[in-house]
Amino acid sequence: MMKTMLTGFAVAASIAGCATVAGGSDYGKAALQMMKADFKTVGPANAERVFDQDEIERVCSDVGQTVAPAVSARLEAAQLASVVFPTDGKYLGDWKAGEAIAQNGRGLQSSDPVGSVNGGNCYACHQMTKAEISYGNIGPSLYNYGKLRGQSEAIVRYTWAKIYNAQAYHACSNMPRFGHKGILTQAQLRDVMALLLDPASPVNQ
């Protein structure tokens, strides 16, 4: 639901960026005025996100997934540089809490109370455990993620950065930038990390 809302805003922003067309009508300007009149902040659903895009959001709104390689490399490097790693070196939390976060699809919607805890809604895009048979396939399967990859420093840091800001590795990724956008707290990120990497987690059974 959260992803659908953000995608809708991105499409609308793309329309607003259209140039002046034949006949002298500035449809981009008209579309932007319409959006500012109609899109209102309700609870934690902040409509200003569509009007206050950062560079990578503007590029992805304009071109979608078809980013030129040189542009993609520059944008990804900037996103990777923005990743905040745990200063205490602790990357793994409680996988049981991580499973609850992965199952929770609530967050940043107009029906949510302000200040409520967001979920990750990970199962909407990924297979993760054998027990959960309802999952999406927009993203790759994460079943046996840690079992297959281990817990080397490189893997742990990569996994953290991918969850924190997926666009650090794939410009215009469909995956939300959970840490970069403050969707999940650092404690929640640690719990999702444990779900993926802890040998005791059902992901790795």
Asked if the model's pLDDT at residue 45 lies above 70, the reply is yes
pLDDT for 29 equals 79
Examine residue 162 and state whether it is found in any structural domain, yes or no. Answer: yes
Examine residue 178 and state whether it is found in any structural domain, yes or no. Answer: yes
The domain boundary, picked from 17, 51, 66, lies at 66
Tokens of 84: 């905040």
Q: Is the domain of 43 the same as that of 126?
A: no
Tokens of 189: 């990120």
Domain of 180 in residue numbering reads as 95-204
pLDDT for 25 equals 61
Q: Is the domain of 174 the same as that of 101?
A: yes
Examine residue 72 and state whether it is found in any structural domain, yes or no. Answer: no
Q: Is the domain of 104 the same as that of 178?
A: yes
Are residues 192 and 80 in contact, defined by beta-carbon separation less than 8 angstroms?
no
Q: What is the mean pLDDT of the chain?
A: 88
What pTM value is reported for the model?
A: 0.82
Examine residue 18 and state whether it is found in any structural domain, yes or no. Answer: yes
Distance between CA atoms of residues 45 and 108, nearest Å = 5
Examine residue 142 and state whether it is found in any structural domain, yes or no. Answer: yes
Q: Is the domain of 26 the same as that of 101?
A: no
Residue 42, classed as helix, strand or coil, is strand
Asked if the model's pLDDT at residue 22 lies above 70, the reply is no
Q: Considering only 14-18, 43-47, 80-84, 177-181, which range has the smallest mean pLDDT? A: 14-18
Examine residue 85 and state whether it is found in any structural domain, yes or no. Answer: no
First vs last C-alpha separation in the chain:
29
Q: Is the domain of 117 the same as that of 195?
A: yes
Asked if the model's pLDDT at residue 100 lies above 80, the reply is yes
Tens digits of residue pLDDT in 108-141: 888 888 888 999 999 999 999 999 999 999 999 9
CATH of the domain at 196: 1.10.760.10
Examine residue 75 and state whether it is found in any structural domain, yes or no. Answer: no
pLDDT for 93 equals 98
State which amino acid sits at residue 56.
I
Asked if the model's pLDDT at residue 47 lies above 80, the reply is no
Interval 82-99 mean pLDDT: 97
Distance between CA atoms of residues 181 and 136, nearest Å = 23
Residue with more model confidence, 132 or 29: 132
Tens digits of residue pLDDT in 141-176: 999 999 999 999 999 999 999 999 999 999 999 999
Q: Considering its fold, how many domains does the chain have in total?
A: 2
Examine residue 82 and state whether it is found in any structural domain, yes or no. Answer: no
Q: Is the domain of 117 the same as that of 157?
A: yes
Per-residue pLDDT band at 41 (split at 50, 70, 90): confident
pLDDT for 153 equals 97
Give how far Cα 36 sits from Cα of 40, 61, 178, Å.
8, 17, 26
Q: Is the domain of 147 the same as that of 48?
A: no
Q: Is the domain of 37 the same as that of 114?
A: no
